[in-house]
Each structure stands twice: as structure tokens, then as C-alpha cells.
Amino acid sequence: MSDINNIIPSYLDSATIEEKTVFFRVLFHLADSDGITDENELEFIRNTAKKQGIEDLEELQNLTDEAKILQDVKIIKNRHLALELIREMCMLSHVDNILSDQETLFIGKVGIALGVEMEKIEQISNWVIDHIFWREQAKYIFEER
């Protein structure tokens, strides 16, 4: 978890406040989609949101209407930002080391709402899994365990 907070680069810096708000609402909903709100997931979201100037996190966290979230996410028109959101969702879904069916389903729904092809979502998911694997391998190789 310690280095996962360093994953989000500056691509959000050029997003509008509305896009950022939706971005983080999606992440909060994903963190709660499996019915288990993991503190590491919430820490990841809170730290990143604060870096982006999103202040009212409690309000974002409490907006849980999935249908509204899926409608609102459509304001993200920038393909790169849409793909980055899918990536962040995949990363977040692995923070607690448990990828649930509910998380997978929600990632797919968001991808569809953003116009991202299922094949691309699968590519991103596989890349994230590979990234996590190689990060763990590095800890072993460099005796950081």
C-alpha cells in the first residue's frame, strides 16, 4: 500500500473540477462495492483526492447511487482520462488483495459508460496485475521483505 499512492500521476491536473469529482466518486463507490470498506482503500482515495484539491470527501463518499454515478461518469470525454480511471479502479480493487465479483462488475459498467471496450479493460486489468506481480518480485529480489 505504501507505494500505491505514488501511482496517480499528473493526468488529473488538467481535468476539470467536475471530472475530478466524478473520478473520486467512482473510486469511493468501487471501494464500497463489495460491501467491505477497507481502510487502505479509503486512505488511497483520500490522499489522492486531497492532492487534487478535492475537499469535501465525506459528501463524495456518501453519494452512492450507482445509476447516478454511471450517468455522471459520462462527462469524462477525454479518452486518456477515461483509460486512467479504469486503471485506477483496477489498482484500487487490488489494494486489499481481494478482487471481488462486485468490483469487477462495477469496473465493467464504468468502462461501458465511458465507451471503453471490454478488451481494453481486460488489457488494463492484466497490466495492473503484472505491475503488482513485478513490484512484489522486486521486494523479494532486493530483499525488502
CATH number corresponding to 4-141: 1.10.3680.10
Q: What is the pLDDT of residues 54-87, one digit of tens each?
A: 878 888 888 889 999 999 999 999 999 999 999 9
The span from the CA of 84 to the CA of 116, in Å, is 11
The span from the CA of 142 to the CA of 145, in Å, is 8
Q: What is the pLDDT of residues 95-126, one digit of tens each?
A: 887 888 999 999 999 999 999 999 999 999 99
Q: Which residues contact 18 (CB under 8 A, 6 or more apart)?
A: 75
Q: What is the pLDDT of residues 12-65, one digit of tens each?
A: 888 998 999 999 999 999 999 988 878 988 988 888 888 888 878 888 888 889
